Amino acid sequence: METRWSKGSFGIRAFEGTKIESKKTNNNNRVECKTRSFFHSPSPDLPQTYQKEVMFSLMHGLWTYMFSKTEFHVLILGIDKAGKTTFLEKLKTIYSISEGLPHDRIVPTVGLNIGRIEVANAKIVFWDLGGQPGLRSIWEKYYEEAHALIYLIDAACPSRFEDSKSALEKALRHEDLQGAPLLILANKQDLPNAVSAEELDRYLDLKKLDERVYMFEAASGYDGRGIKESIEWLVGVMERSKRTEALRARSGYVPVPTS
């Protein structure tokens, strides 16, 4: 019988192992063993207090596995007037009980604007950073902890495409953003002169994109088009991302086994 001891959160040991139930010899004169895996909690001879602590630890772990939600941190970047804050407020309206700010009350972000939503089994914290030239230097202070990046471009303003491209390329070159999934939104599709996501993709011709998971999507922070599909895609890729694995390992996160 093979036995393996394990130590719980409260220092109480339990054991698990494999027990041989029967043996038989097959036609090749090899012994085949039928085994049964088992797990025993600590001996009932242990003090009652310890037994209760062990049970609490086991139940807490089960509850955490069943009901806790993974939290992701997502950066929302783009040059000024790309529609980042309007996009975030529309996100809140779509995914939260409370509505986002009305459009006439939204002002350009100076510094940091934070939003939180829940999608399926995930909690997402959004960091919306100001895009004015003098504020872009603070972007990199948030790169290290971000699971993914959403980059908005005003698809109705071709005269600023080059500035948007330059700012995005600079962000993608930073070592602290390596491996982060990227969602590029051709925003303001509610405007008649907005170019499509495909046209914007061809115009930008970003050389670095082949090295990471990314998607171009047409969207509107004003009427909400394209937002739900984009966020659901992003959650899916973050859950499978090597970037997420690396951030979890660095924080000491240990996933609960599923089998």
- Residue 182's CATH number: 3.40.50.300
Task: Kindly state whether residues 50 and 128 are assigned to the same domain.
Answer: no
- Residue 81: the pLDDT is 94
Task: Kindly state whether residues 53 and 97 are assigned to the same domain.
Answer: no
Task: Kindly state whether residues 59 and 117 are assigned to the same domain.
Answer: no
Q: 28-45 burial, b if ≥16 CB within 10 A, otherwise e?
A: eeeeeeeeeeeeeebeee
Q: Which residues contact 256 (CB under 8 A, 6 or more apart)?
A: 61, 64, 65
Question: Does any domain span residue 256?
Answer: no
Task: Kindly state whether residues 7 and 49 are assigned to the same domain.
Answer: yes
Task: Kindly state whether residues 56 and 89 are assigned to the same domain.
Answer: no
Write down which residue in 10, 36, 67 finishes a domain. Answer: 67
- Residue 55: the pLDDT is 65
Question: Does any domain span residue 115?
Answer: yes
Establish whether 83 is an annotated binding residue.
Answer: yes
Task: Kindly state whether residues 123 and 155 are assigned to the same domain.
Answer: yes
- Residue 65: the pLDDT is 47
Write down which residue in 46, 67, 88 finishes a domain. Answer: 67
Question: What are the tens digits of pLDDT across the range 59-113?
Answer: 655 554 445 578 999 999 999 999 999 999 999 889 876 666 666 666 666 678 8
Task: Kindly state whether residues 58 and 83 are assigned to the same domain.
Answer: no
How many helices (H) and strands (E) the chain has is answered by 6, 9
CA–CA dist 109, 88 (Å, integer): 11
Question: What are the tens digits of pLDDT across the range 113-134?
Answer: 899 999 888 899 999 999 999 9
Write down which residue in 67, 91, 111 finishes a domain. Answer: 67
CA–CA dist 49, 41 (Å, integer): 14
Range of the domain at 110: 70-247
Establish whether 221 is an annotated binding residue.
Answer: no
Task: Kindly state whether residues 118 and 170 are assigned to the same domain.
Answer: yes
Of 48, 51, 132, 178, the active-site residue reads 132
Establish whether 249 is an annotated binding residue.
Answer: no
Q: Which residues contact 129 (CB under 8 A, 6 or more apart)?
A: 75, 76, 77, 84, 109, 111, 112, 113, 135, 138, 139, 142
Establish whether 134 is an annotated binding residue.
Answer: no
DSSP 3-state of 199: helix
φ, ψ for residue 21, nearest 5 deg: -95, -35
How close are the terminal C-alpha atoms of the chain, in Å?
22
Q: Catalytic: 132? A: yes
Task: Kindly state whether residues 112 and 170 are assigned to the same domain.
Answer: yes
Query: What is the value of pTM for the model shown?
Result: 0.71
Strand runs labelled E in 180-241: 182-187, 214-218
Establish whether 85 is an annotated binding residue.
Answer: yes
- Minimum mean pLDDT among 5-9, 14-18, 26-30, 180-184: which range? 5-9
Task: Kindly state whether residues 48 and 102 are assigned to the same domain.
Answer: no
Question: Does any domain span residue 61?
Answer: yes
189 DSSP assignment: T
